[in-house]
Amino acid sequence: MNKILAGLLGPLLLGACATSQAPDEALPWDAAVVRGTLSNGLEYRLVRDASQANRLDLRLTVQAGSVDEEADQVGVAHLVEHLTFYSHGGDTDDLRQRMTSLGWIQGRHFNAVTSYDRTQYLLSPPSGVKEAPQALEALSDLVFAMDYDAADLERERPVVIEEWRGGLGVAQRMNEQRIASQRAGSHYPAHRTIGNEGAIRKASVEALKRYQQRWYVPNNMILSVVGDFEPVELAKQIEQAFSAPLAGPLPGREQRELPLDDRLKVFRLQDPQSGSNQVALLFRLHEPDSRGTTRAAMRERLIDRMALSALTTSLRRQLPLDGVRSLTAQKTLIGEHSTVLGIAAGVDGQQHRRALQQLLGEIERLRQHGFTEAEMQHEREVIQKLGEKALAKDGSRDFQQWVEQLNNAAVQDKPVVAKHAAAQRYLEVLGSIDRDDLNQRLRRWLASRDRVLQLSAPGVTPLELPTVAEVERLQDSIAHTALAAPKQQAAESTSKPLAELVMPALPAPGSMVKRRSFAEEKVEHWSLGNGDRLVWLRANAEGGRWSLQADSTAGYNLADRPVWRTQMTTQLATQSTPAGISAEALDAWRKARKVTLGVEQKPQRLQLSLGVTPGEGALADLLQSYRLSQVNVRIDPAAFSEAREELLKRLQSRPDDVREREASSMRRLMYGRDSWQAPDAAALRALDAAALDGDWQRLSAAPVTYYLMADIEPEALEQAVLAHLANIPRGKALNPAAASQKPGRRSESLAIALEPRAVFQASSFSEQPWSPQAAARVAALRDLASLQLKQRLRGEAAGVYRLKFDSELNPDTGRIESRLSFTCDPARVDELWALAQDALDKLPGAVSAEWVKGERAELARQESKRRDDPATQQRRLVLSERHWGDPRYLSSQARLPEGLNSGALKAMAGQLFPRANQVQLRLLPSPAAQDQAL
């Protein structure tokens, strides 16, 4: 399934208008793709990409998934994906054992995934092309051997049940309701990819093999390979590995389409833990003409894109009635030719009837009036700009893009075409599309009699559904009313000349009091007269841009302000402007100058990140943009009132959230208190914009360290820094507290979950001064610990599927901070935690010479890329400066792999999850959930 968000239909590569009388043939495949088909029907697509020496990525797509199951085969497609790894293919060991013995790691070097209509097996062997024969043999045995047995199924069944259990929750429950309503009458609702607990427990090995024999035939498979190989040689290896199995008859695929009717169907979408509050009307259709790469198909696709974009823009322009928050549109593709257009209204409180009335009214308004010529021309201009931009770019693809393109081609059954060829074809059809085409498309969508009305309300809020007759009477009444044309876009204020944006006059330039150079790292330190510091790396940032990062101590974890208030202050202030400058004008100025601004606030730090494309005046634009976020900024009272009202509405409609209670309990266990509590309504009502103004003046006065990446002449930089930065008034540094776990052991259990599962969380820490080498060791040990835990809890105990272990050396706290979480059967939570504890205790013994050698080689490979990656270099510069006050990390990073040695790793392994500082939280089923499970 491909979801088209409002205004998007994948990348459109377009250019100037043109027409062509050439025959309407499908575009050819990109010449870089070597294609072939074996005598048994298996297709392969190969792309040689030597940009990453020896790397190899293989993906075998079986064009069958859960929607292809028979009525008595629920969950079987996914079970087959699991059981294929128990196949032997004539070997003593099963495939998982064979791949593991080669040093391949599940999740990193081999994996598999099942969806409604596809099953994929993914291999990326660590030794790359050298292991191509083993990889192809493994893929062939995975899909064709079929020699797993009932005992294998019994071993894997608990793991799949835990995968099902791990996916339970409010998101899963709401998604099931959406699928059941959106695809009512089809095969999809009864055939979730994971199946259900009853089906998993009852599935037989005979049912699995019957499904596999039906769909796992070579003429229903596509092999996609990207890597540093010789295509002719690899094609021979593919022939050798895959040619023996015979082709088989393929059943029809009508179950993948939506069966249409002429009825309106009304559904409630509601869950005690969901905050969704919406009314949506879905139009279901069959639209087969837009698939493919002929001119006709691409023209249809372009009309779809333009009509959907115009529809979405028009809906957003309409003024919502009281009780209605917003109007949006979205389109979904299902199967080969089924589509669903959804138009939705967000609801305030319990105003669902009012929202339905406006929703139907806006739909009828569009049906009566359609799109204007101005709207059509706007869409054309947007496409034209996209085309010009696309045609100006290089048409080549990098390694990852080739992997993604071949994967999409296999999953969506479409060719990979050359970028410029696609651009030329879109160019040919754009000029033939006019306003009538868009209006006909819109009216065809809205004329569908197969409709679904979805209504949702937060938590257990009462929700009375209208009857079909009531909805159709309201719709008929509106249809017989002459409605005014949709509101059109007002003249754009951003189109006025940029000269009309009057910048505040700059004060006298500031001063520089000290300068220090680090020649080896190409870094300079400038100490400014106002107390700020500039750390300048003379190299351009990612994409050749200039980058400015401004760090201060204005974090949100202040002793005298609640977290929510400090975060609200920062969000509103960074969206506000100095007196005399409108937010719209400043936003237009930044867009015209191509200046970006991002904000991230952490417990101890506020970070503003800016970027600009080099050019005349770009440096002044970059620094001025930062200055305008700091000096004389006043929070807009209207924006404050809007934000406060939105928060109050959320507080009133928020359901009793199990997840929030769980997170709050874990924070109390770790930190001794929950500093993340939401605001209460009284505190919000008592707040005003002036109070937040005062908060921001305090935050913005904290001295700043700037990290600049720009290859620019020092004289020009100095002049700009003194003019724009060195004269910003500063005050005292703030002293926000670190979010640090308290020492000691603590545990708690909460029996409040709605699902029949346990969620176990544990956290621990140990003191460890930060250094790059120590951080690299922690990262390596994190992966080793994760493997050991999965082996014990999943491989041996078959007790978990979802398990996450994370560990990092936090440079702010000087601690190794580790977290473990997994979901399981509530009856086994203590048993599995004991196994996990034992695996973590024994981690030093798992540090073998062979493992260390492999980790050092992998780190060396990764570092060869990171040293050329501007974003990584900027992060390392910041880390180095914060820790040492100089850029030495940049000149020493080449020696990072040397830090991975057995002695140091064994010693640190014992510090990864010490018992002395462990806190544990068990989220268990509520009594009602336990009764339901029984």
Task: State the DSSP string of 330-353.
Answer: EEEEETTTEEEEEEEEEE-TT-HH
* Span 437-473, pLDDT tens digits: 999 999 999 999 999 999 999 998 999 999 999 999 9
pLDDT of residue 36: 97
The CB density around residue 661, as the number of other CB atoms within 10 Å, is: 14
Count of CB atoms situated within 10 Å of the CB of 680: 12
3-state secondary structure of 436: helix
| CATH architecture for residues 41-246 | 2-Layer Sandwich (3.30)
pLDDT of residue 413: 83
**CA 355 to CA 361: how far, in whole Å?**
10
Cα separation, 910 vs 784, whole angstroms: 13
User: Length of the chain in residues, anyone?
Assistant: 934
Query: Are domains 2-17+257-397+406-479 and 41-246 of this chain identical in fold?
Result: yes
Higher-confidence position of 655 and 575: 575
Enclosing H/E stretch for 458: none
Residue 845 CB-density burial (10 A; 0-12 exposed, 13-18 middle, 19+ buried): exposed
Are residues 311 and 365 in contact, defined by beta-carbon separation less than 8 angstroms? no
- pLDDT (average), residues 532-550: 97
Q: Is 426 exposed, middle or buried (0-12, 13-18, 19+ CB in 10 A)?
A: buried
Q: Taking 90 as the threshold, does the pLDDT of residue 34 lie above it?
A: yes
First to last CA, the chain: 35
Dist. CA 601–CA 558, nearest whole Å: 12
Q: Which two tokens stand for residue 156?
A: 């894997």
* Beta-strand runs (E) in 485-522: 512-518
Q: What is the pLDDT of residue 675?
A: 75
Exposed/middle/buried for 3, CB within 10 Å: 0-12, 13-18, 19+?
exposed
Whole-number mean pLDDT of the chain? 92
User: What average pLDDT does the segment 529-549 reach?
Assistant: 97
Q: Could you give the CA distance from residue 373 to residue 485 in angstroms, rounded to a whole number?
A: 13
**DSSP annotation string for 122-143:** EE--TTGGGGHHHHHHHHHHHH
Buried b (16+ CB within 10 A) or exposed e, 881-906: bebeebbbbbebbeebbebbeeeebb
* Phi, psi angles (nearest 5°) of residue 58: -125, 135
Highest mean pLDDT among 133-147, 284-298, 411-425: 133-147
CA separation for the pair 441, 424 (Å, rounded)? 24
Cα dihedral sign, 133-135-138-139:
negative
Backbone angles phi, psi at 551, to 5 degrees: -110, 135
pLDDT at 148 (0 to 100): 97
pLDDT band for position 17 (cuts 50, 70, 90): very low
The helix (H) or strand (E) run that includes residue 153 is: helix 150-166
pLDDT in tens, 605-615: 999 999 999 99
Q: What's the CA gap between 789 and 800, in Å, rounded?
A: 10
pLDDT of 725 strictly over 50: yes
Q: Is the distance from CB of 724 to CB of 792 less than 8 angstroms?
A: no
Both structure tokens of 97: 């054992």
**Token match 């979802």: residue?**
802
What percentage of residues in the chain have a pLDDT greater than 70?
95
Residue (of 310, 616, 569, 608) closest to 437 by Cα position: 310
| Close Cβ partners of 133 (under 8 Å, ≥ 6 residues apart) | 237, 241
Mean predicted confidence (pLDDT) in 234-238: 97
Confidence (pLDDT) at 838:
97
Classified as helix, coil or strand, 546 is strand
Q: What's the CA gap between 45 and 36, in Å, rounded?
A: 7
Q: Are 760 and 819 in contact (CB under 8 A)?
A: no
What's the CATH class of domain 746-933? alpha beta
Query: How far, in Å, CA of 679 to CA of 561, rounded?
Result: 12
799-829 pLDDT, tens digit per residue, is 999 999 999 999 999 999 999 999 999 999 9
C-alpha 733/C-alpha 702 separation (Å) is: 5
Q: Band the pLDDT of 197: cuts 50, 70, 90.
A: very high
Place of tokens 């951003």: 494
Under a CB-based contact definition with an 8 Å cutoff, are residues 570 and 599 in contact? Answer: yes
| Secondary structure (3-state) at 908 | helix
Who's near 146: CB < 8 A, 6+ residues apart?
87, 209, 212, 213, 216
Tell me 603's DSSP state.
S
Residue with tokens 């260390």: 852
pLDDT value at residue 623 = 97
CA distance 183 to 186: 6
Name the pairing type of β-strands 33-37 and 43-48.
Answer: antiparallel
How far is the C-alpha of 291 from the C-alpha of 208, rounded, in Å? 33
The yes-or-no verdict on residue 708 having pLDDT over 50 is: yes
**pLDDT winner (highest mean) among 44-48, 332-336, 733-737:** 44-48
Angle at 781 between CA 858 and CA 791, to 5 degrees: 100
Any idea which of 47-51, 422-426, 776-780, 831-835 has the lowest mean pLDDT? 422-426
Domain ranges of the chain: 2-17+257-397+406-479, 41-246, 521-724, 746-933
**How confident is the model at residue 22, as a pLDDT?**
53
Structural class in CATH, domain 521-724: alpha beta
**Mean pLDDT score, 386-403:** 87
Per-residue DSSP letters for 910-929? TTSS-GGG-EEEEEEE-HHH
Of 840, 857, 861, which Cα lies nearest the Cα of 849?
Answer: 857
Label residue 215 by pLDDT band (50, 70, 90).
Answer: very high
pLDDT for 291: 82
Contact 516, 525 (CB under 8 A): yes
- The Cα–Cα gap between 538 and 536 comes to 6
Segment of 99-103, 495-499, 835-839 carrying the highest mean pLDDT: 835-839
Q: What does the alpha-carbon distance between residue 83 and residue 92 come to, in Å, rounded to a whole number?
A: 16
| φ and ψ of 117, to 5 deg | -125, 10
Local structure of residue 515 (DSSP, 8 states): E
When pLDDT is cut at 50, 70 and 90, the band that residue 19 belongs to is very low
Helix (H) or strand (E) holding 327: strand 324-334
Task: State CA 705 to chain mean position distance.
Answer: 31
Contact 247, 219 (CB under 8 A): yes
Q: How many CB atoms lie within 10 A of CB 467?
A: 10
Which of the four CATH numbers 3.30.1330.180, 3.40.50.1950, 3.10.129.10, 3.30.830.10 does domain 2-17+257-397+406-479 have?
A: 3.30.830.10
Helices (H), 370-458: 373-391, 399-412, 419-430, 435-446
Average pLDDT, integer, range 269-291: 94
Whether the pLDDT of residue 423 is over 90: the answer is no
| CB 19 within 8 Å of CB 390 | no
How many angstroms separate the CA atoms of 697 and 685, rounded?
22
